[in-house]
Amino acid sequence: MAIILIKLLFSLVVTSLSVATFAATPQDFLKTYEAQSGKASSVKGEQFFNAKHGKEWSCASCHESPPNHDTKHIVTGKVIKPLAPANNSARFTDEAKVDKWFKRNCNDVLNRECTAQEKADVLSWLMTVK
């Protein structure tokens, strides 16, 4: 019985390590958001990114448009690396970071979390930015 438990534990550790080292891609996130909401629209994504949604800021307030170069946060002055995946290969590759930043930035712009459709639309547009 102990040997079976040890084998099971070893299997779980190996599986956990392989999952932890998996690097997602922007396409992976887009597929996930589309599965939750429907087909993404890059046109709607660009409109959403540049629009103010009843608050003072838009996404472009900090990331500028197009978001293909370093910018600075309008309040903190901290440098923000390019948001477009074509200009920053680290963008949309880490699920925890993607979740964190969508949650924080959507709250800043919308005063709520973004829907899966909004995320899909914005990401589909960002994937076209060169």
Kindly report, residue by residue over 105-117, the tens digit of the pLDDT.
Answer: 999 999 999 999 9
In a domain, 16, yes or no: no
Kindly report, residue by residue over 66-78, the tens digit of the pLDDT.
Answer: 999 999 998 899 9
In a domain, 17, yes or no: no
Burial of 124 (0-12, 13-18, 19+ CB in 10 A): buried
Cut 0.75: pTM above it? yes
Counting residues of the chain whose pLDDT is more than 70, the rounded percentage is 82
In a domain, 19, yes or no: no
Expressed as residue numbers, the domain containing 60 is 25-126
Q: SS3 for 71?
A: strand
Number of domains in the chain: 1
In a domain, 6, yes or no: no
In a domain, 88, yes or no: yes
In a domain, 18, yes or no: no
Residue 80 scores a pLDDT above 70: yes
Reference 111, options 121, 119, 103; nearest CA is 103
Which CATH number goes with the domain that contains 75? 1.10.760.10
In a domain, 32, yes or no: yes
Look up residue 11 and give its two tokens: 């299997």
Look up residue 9 and give its two tokens: 């534990």
In a domain, 1, yes or no: no
